[in-house]
Amino acid sequence: MFGVPDPKKLWRRYVVALGLIFLFLMGSHLSAVLTISGTHSTASDIDNSGRQRMLSQRILYFATEHAKAQDNAFAEDLTAAIDSFETAHIGLLIASNRSDDLKEIYFSDDESIAVNTLSINYIKDARSVLERSPQAADALARMQEVGPYHLLQRLNTAVQEFENYAQKKVDELSFLQSLSIASAVIILFLEALFIFWPAHKITISTLLKLEKKQSELEKAHTDAVDRNKELEETRSHLHHESRHDALTGLANRRYLDTELSARAEELSSSGGKLALLHIDLDRFKQINDSLGHAAGDHVLEHVASVLRKVVSGDDFVARVGGDEFVIACSGEASTEKLSGISRELIYELSKPIKFGDSLCHFGASIGIGIAQAEGLQIDPDKLMVNADIALYRAKEQGRGCHVFFTPDMQQQVDEGKKITDNIREALNNGDFIPYYQPQFDTETMELAGAEVLVRWQSEEGLLEPEKFLPVAEVIGAIPDIDRVMLEQAANDFGQWRDQGLTVPLISVNVSAKRLHHPDFITSLRYCTIPPENLVLELVESIFFEQQDEQFFKILDEVKRLGIATEIDDFGTGHSSIVSLSKISPNGLKIDQQIIEPIADDASARELLKAILDIANSMGITAVAEGVETEAQVRVLKDYGCQRLQGFWLGKPMPADEFFAFVTSYSGSKAA
């Protein structure tokens, strides 16, 4: 009941309160009107009864004087007094109804004191005197006896009683007043209790709720502001991260692109040069492979700090790839300044750095592109390509140097691009064909096998591998070339066999990319050359690649298929005794560079002997490549090299020529 009412239902209480106040007002108004009107008539009763006393004495006086007088000089006054007395008496008789005491005074059983009886008799006697009736003298005598005493006394009593009655009414009125004040107080109290207090409680609870809501809102606002701040921080952090390399903190490729576009735009109006130094680390891969990625990261961080130290104020440094960095210089960008920066960088980056107990040896090659904003806006992409071409050239020149881009480099690149397009087309058109170079058994000089060597029948004539293999390597076309060579060799092998010629061994060159190609093993499994007639020559690129678990798994698979492997170009480049023992091939091909001097140079023969000893000790076949003279053949025969390949014995030739060559060779040998 005293709880907080439903604020929406509070109006009902207000209606009840208003109704109560209305009823109370109406009630107290009505009772006041009634009481006042009662009091009003009571006042006139007092007045009348007072006048009645005075009239009773006036009647006595006029009656006495009338009786004494011979004429009727007082008759009129007496009559008027009697009439007034009678009229008032009738009113007072009605008024005597107001209380029992008044009734007793007017209508007492004892007629000697009943004012009504006394008054009626008094008037009767007065009329008797007025009319000078025979009994007038008695009547006057009775009047003189009753008038000043009994009647006057009783009339006094009546006045007194009317006054008492009036006093009673006044008391009642003041009681009513008190009652209405008390009622008003009670109603106010009840209203306070049932309406204003709940309303107050509602107001308070609403206020509290509002305060709570306000503090919640304030908190929400503060939270929102905090969250906004956090978001803003995260956004700027993300913005920074999206434009910087996480490891070195240098700008990343994307940021570099934006920066170059901005500088190109600026230079287009102000003029000046924009130069890019494209820096590539030498031997970085080896550090990663041999010492792990932590060492690689350490080197990259070191390089970043060197770059920061070497560049000047306005230069912009970015890391654009694993071990590639770019410095953008705008403004003067003279070749002297750029050469100076490059030399300093190459010098600083050639110093080995420590990582744990190991020393990391690396270096840097730098390609530089410069563009002058002359009328036309500099094209940052083109400039980047130029710096990249120059870098490629720096690497070709033996690394650890810097090279400026020149327009003729572009020409070479364009040619390279043309070759690239042509290689793709040639692969589609079947323009890569196999040439076969015979191999002979040193003891019997019988045909021992043939190496499959790719040739390109291009519009410019027949191209040898050195013309297109480097480009094919770059564009990743070598695996396709290897695949095509194996397919065509298998085809030729089948045709020769159909014609009665079985070539004992068909050696195909296999690049690292081909070896790792997903369909390599499948292609060997379905190759129509029997495994015992097939040899895979592992070319130099294989030894550049990491010889990981996968590599040895593939080799195992090849061995399981019964296909022989030979290490190509042994004694030079990257094929080593270590890899020989790890790979355990079926044979090795001694490089032409070792064969070439053996006829004339004793120490060359020593080297040859050492290699042959290794092969013998491992129980594998040795093949000599690039045999160009009979003297070389003799030495190789003496030293026990099992197979020979070279121009002196037979140059690489197309399939039909090879068939003819072998048939006529066998014939001549037989003859």
- List contacts with Mg ion (CB under 5 A): 509, 537, 568-569, 625
Tokens for 161, please give them. 């009683």
Which range binds ligand C2E by CB under 6 A, 163-171, 372-380, 645-653, 656-664? 645-653
Tell me how far apart the alpha carbons of residues 328 and 312 are, in angstroms, rounded to a whole number.
11
- The residue with tokens 């590639």 is 324
Tell which one of 389, 646, 655, 658 touches ligand C2E (CB under 6 A): 646
Give the 3-state secondary structure percentages of the chain, helix then strand then coil, rounded to 5. Answer: 65, 15, 20
> How wide is the angle at C-alpha 590 spanned by C-alphas 589 and 593, nearest 5°?
140
Q: Residues with Cβ < 8 Å from 108, sequence gap 6 or more?
A: 114
CB of 438 to ligand C2E, least distance (A): 10
Q: Does 282 bind ligand C2E (CB under 6 A)?
A: no
Query: Which stretch, 118-126, 139-147, 462-470, 544-552, contacts ligand C2E (CB under 6 A)?
Result: 462-470
Rule CB under 6 A: choose which of 60, 126, 155, 469 binds ligand C2E: 469
**Minimal distance, residue 612 CB to ligand C2E, in Å:** 18
Taking the complex as a whole, how short is the minimal distance between the CB of residue 495 and ligand C2E, in angstroms? 19
Q: Is 535 in the site for ligand C2E (CB under 6 A)?
A: no
| Count of residues that interact with ligand C2E, criterion CB under 6 A | 26
The site partner of 485 among ligand C2E, Mg ion, none (C-beta below 5 to 8 Å per kind) is ligand C2E
What are the angstrom distances between the C-alpha of 422 and each of 468, 476, 477?
Answer: 10, 14, 11
Distance of closest approach, residue 277 Cβ to ligand C2E, in angstroms: 35
Burial class from Cβ neighbours inside 10 Å (0-12, 13-18, 19+) for residue 524 reads buried
Site for ligand C2E in 567-586 (CB under 6 A): 568-569
Nearer to Mg ion, 380 or 626 (CB): 626
Stretch that binds ligand C2E, among 28-36, 77-85, 210-218, 622-630 (CB under 6 A): 622-630
Q: Give yes or no for a contact between 447 and 503, defined as CB atoms under 8 angstroms apart.
A: yes
Distance of alpha carbon 581 from the chain centroid = 56
Segment contacting ligand C2E (CB under 6 A): 81-89, 152-160, 398-406, 641-649? 641-649
Helix and strand counts by DSSP (H, E) for the chain: 24, 17
CB 639 within 8 A of CB 607: no
Stretch touching ligand C2E by CB under 6 A, among 234-242, 279-287, 525-533, 644-652: 644-652
Decide: is 175 part of the binding site for ligand C2E (CB under 6 A): no
- 647 belongs to the binding site for ligand C2E (CB under 6 A): yes
Please, which residue, 347 or 639, has the CB nearer to ligand C2E?
639
Of 260 and 481, which CB lies nearer to Mg ion in the complex structure?
481
Closest CA to 339 of 403, 286, 289, 247: 403
Nearer to Mg ion, 417 or 574 (CB): 574
The answer to the question of residue 598 lying near ligand C2E (CB under 6 A) is no
CB nearer to Mg ion: pick between 161 and 569: 569
Q: Which residues lie closer than 8 Å to 257 by C-beta, 6 or more apart?
A: 380
| Cβ proximity to Mg ion, 67 vs 539, nearer residue | 539
Q: Is 315 in the site for ligand C2E (CB under 6 A)?
A: no
Report, in Å, the least distance between residue 652 CB and ligand C2E.
Answer: 5
Q: Are 326 and 303 in contact (CB under 8 A)?
A: no
How far is residue 408 from each of residues 143, 374, 378, 403, measured CA to CA in Å? 170, 21, 19, 13
Q: Contact region for ligand C2E (CB under 6 A) — 102-110, 112-120, 140-148, 639-647?
A: 639-647
Of 339 and 579, the one with the shorter C-beta distance to Mg ion is: 579
Residue choice 485, 564, 580, 590 for contact with ligand C2E (CB under 6 A) = 485
- Choice from 282, 482, 492, 566 touching ligand C2E (CB under 6 A): 482
**Closest C-alpha to 247, from 318, 346, 351:** 318
Amino acid code (one letter) for 177? Q
Q: Which is nearer to ligand C2E, 245 or 480 (CB)?
A: 480
Q: 464 is in the binding site of which of Mg ion, ligand C2E, none (Cβ under 5 to 8 A by kind)?
A: ligand C2E
DSSP state of 501: -
Q: Identify the residue among 76, 374, 464, 606 touching ligand C2E (CB under 6 A).
A: 464
Closer CB to ligand C2E, 151 or 510, in the complex = 510
Tell me the β-bridge partners of 462: 457
Asked whether 562 and 531 are in contact (CB, 8 A), the reply is yes
Nearer to Mg ion, 50 or 465 (CB): 465
Q: How far apart are CA 423 and CA 469, in angstroms?
A: 10
Tokens representing 591? Answer: 């490089």
626 lies in the site for ligand C2E, by CB under 6 A: yes
Is residue 589 within 8 Å of 610, Cβ to Cβ? no
Task: Decide if residue 542 touches ligand C2E (CB under 6 A).
Answer: no
Q: Does 400 bind ligand C2E (CB under 6 A)?
A: no
SS3 readout for 77-128: HHHHHHHHHHHHHHHHHHHHHHCHHHHHHHHCCCCCCCHHHHHHHHHHHHHH
Which residue matches tokens 């058109």?
A: 429
Angstrom distance (rounded) from CA 589 to CA 595: 10
Question: By rule CB under 6 A, what string of x and - marks binding of each residue 407-446 to ligand C2E?
Answer: ------------------------------x---------
* Contact partner at residue 453 from ligand C2E, Mg ion, none, CB < 5 to 8 Å by partner kind: ligand C2E
Residue 81 or 453 with smaller CB distance to ligand C2E = 453
For residues 330 and 507, which CB has a smaller minimum distance to ligand C2E in the complex? 507
Q: Report DSSP letters for 322-342, one per residue.
A: SSEEEEEEEES--HHHHHHHH
CA 623 to CA 625: how far, in whole Å? 6
Binding site for ligand C2E (CB under 6 A): 437, 453-454, 464-466, 469, 478, 481-482, 485, 509, 511, 537, 539, 568-569, 592, 625-628, 645-647, 652
